[in-house]
Structure formats: C-alpha cells, structure tokens
C-alpha cells in the first residue's frame, strides 16, 4: 500500500526485455534500507525490487506483460525521470489517500492552463474507468494522490500547485502525455456493491 505522496524522483538507467521488462532505476533512497522483494511505486505502478546497488544508489524491478498492458511503462526510455514512493509502514502518516499501486489504465493529458501559481490539468480517462471518477474524489496519476476538480463524461480536471511540480515529475508534463491512472479503491468497491444492490 502507498499514499500517493511521492518521496523521490528516480532516473531510468537501463531497460532490458528479458521475458519481462527489467528496469534499473537510480534513486536518492538509502538502498541499504531497501530489501530485495520490497515494493516501490514507480510512476504509480507497484513493482518488486529484484536487485540493489550502491555508489550511487539504484534498484532494479521487473514488469510483466500484464503491467505493460495497463500502464505507460511500454513508453519508458533510458533517462526518463519517474515518481517514486516506498511502501507504507504501520504508523506512517497518510497524507494522500490509500493507493494500491495497481494501475487501472492510462489517461491522456489533453490540456494545461496556468491559473495563478497553480496549473489546471485536464485528462481524458478510458471510458470504462470514467464512472469511478467523481468531483472532489481522489485519483492517483503517475503515483501522485490528487483531488478531482470536475468531471464531464470521461474528461476530468485537477490542479497542481508549485510544490507538487517541484518534487514530482509534474513539472515536466506536457499535453499528449500518457499518464498512469489508478482510481480510488473506495469508488471501485462502492460500484461493485451497487451491482448487487
């Protein structure tokens, strides 16, 4: 489990297709405190650490074909910067919302407009996921917990404050970007219960 509060920006150093996609990511995390088998959210995708290295610190993960089909990892390239979050520990503050790291699909960034110091971003969600997105609800976009401002069909908007742009990859976002989308877990279960109501 994660909270959608990004704690590092990692840099993809190497990618290899080895049955699954193998990815080496540079990090400022103290790798001595990371175990093999640990979960790290990489642009919102929960991935398992399979190797560790130091000087400077890095870890590697593997992504299955299923993960690639549901996320934007198929577009990752060497040099790309990705949002990172370590798994939640008992007693940690939940500053965002409960995020599983199980990406539901990919949204497209369709518009960016500066509003004061903040930036309003508009996204187009896959049709089958749009019904789970509600005004003032939460979504995780590339691993960042964000509040939905408005919804119009499959289109929804959020605001990014300057701090978020500085400490995450949102400062590099551009129209046309494909963004990992995880809907709110609560919305998923409410919809499922309604099917049997």
Least confident of 144-148, 178-182, 187-191: 187-191
Report the CATH number at residue 40. 2.40.30.20
* CB atoms near residue 59 (< 10 Å): 25
Looking at the fold, whether 77 and 118 belong to one and the same domain comes out as: no
Q: Map tokens 């976009």 to a residue.
A: 141
Q: What is the pLDDT of residue 63?
A: 96
> pLDDT tens digits, residue range 9-65?
999 999 999 889 999 999 999 999 999 999 999 999 999 999 999 889 999 999 999
Residue 118: half-sphere exposure toward Cβ, Cα within 13 Å: 8
Q: Interior CA angle at 91 toward 39 and 163, to 5°?
A: 70
Is 99 domain-assigned? no
Q: Which residues pair with 60 in a beta bridge?
A: 24, 51
Between the two ends of the chain, the Cα-to-Cα distance in Å is 28
Is 98 domain-assigned? no
> pLDDT tens digits, residue range 162-187?
999 999 999 999 999 999 999 998 87
Q: What is the pLDDT of residue 90?
A: 79
Contact 60, 23 (CB under 8 A): yes
- The full length of the chain comes to 197
Domain count of the fold of the chain: 2
Looking at the fold, whether 24 and 72 belong to one and the same domain comes out as: yes
DSSP state of 30: -
Task: Give me the helices (H) in the chain, please.
Answer: 65-70, 127-130, 162-167, 185-195
Domain boundary among 57, 86, 115: 86
Is the pLDDT at 96 greater than 90? The verdict is no
Contact 85, 1 (CB under 8 A): no
Looking at the fold, whether 110 and 39 belong to one and the same domain comes out as: no
Over residues 130-147, mean pLDDT: 95
Domain boundary among 33, 52, 86: 86
Q: What is the pLDDT of residue 193?
A: 79
Is 26 domain-assigned? yes
Would you place residue 91 in the very low, low, confident or very high pLDDT band (cuts 50, 70, 90)? confident
Is the pLDDT at 112 greater than 80? The verdict is yes
Q: Map tokens 């908007």 to a residue.
A: 157
Strand order in the sheet with 138-141: 144-147, 138-141, 178-183, 105-115, 118-124, 155-160, 150-152
Residue 55: give the domain boundaries.
Answer: 8-86
Looking at the fold, whether 112 and 156 belong to one and the same domain comes out as: yes
Over residues 152-167, mean pLDDT: 97
- The secondary structure of the chain in percent helix, strand, coil, rounded to multiples of 5, reads 20, 45, 40
Q: What is the pLDDT of residue 197?
A: 63
pTM of the full structure? 0.94
Is 123 domain-assigned? yes
Looking at the fold, whether 111 and 184 belong to one and the same domain comes out as: yes
Is 127 domain-assigned? yes
Looking at the fold, whether 110 and 152 belong to one and the same domain comes out as: yes
Domain boundary among 34, 57, 86: 86
Looking at the fold, whether 77 and 123 belong to one and the same domain comes out as: no
Q: Backbone phi, then psi, for 93, in 5-degree steps?
A: -70, 135
């Amino acid at each position: 489990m994660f909270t959608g509060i990004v704690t590092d920006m990692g840099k993809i150093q190497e990618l290899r297709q080895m049955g699954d996609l193998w990815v080496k990511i540079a990090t400022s995390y103290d790798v001595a405190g990371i175990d093999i088998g640990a979960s790290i959210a990489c642009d919102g995708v929960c991935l398992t650490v399979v190797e560790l290295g130091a000087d400077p610190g890095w870890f590697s993960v593997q992504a299955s074909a299923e993960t690639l089909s549901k996320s934007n990892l198929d577009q990752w390239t060497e040099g790309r910067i990705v949002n990172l979050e370590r798994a939640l520990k008992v007693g940690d503050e939940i500053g965002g919302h409960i995020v599983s790291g199980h990406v539901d699909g990919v949204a497209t960034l369709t518009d960016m407009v500066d509003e004061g110091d903040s930036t309003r971003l508009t996204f187009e969600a896959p049709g089958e996921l749009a019904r789970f997105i509600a005004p003032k609800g939460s979504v995780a976009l590339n691993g960042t917990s964000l509040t939905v401002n408005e919804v119009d069909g499959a289109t929804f908007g959020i605001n990014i404050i300057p701090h978020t742009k500085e400490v995450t990859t949102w400062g590099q976002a551009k129209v046309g970007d494909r963004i990992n989308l995880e809907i709110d877990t609560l919305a998923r279960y409410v919809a499922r219960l309604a099917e049997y109501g």
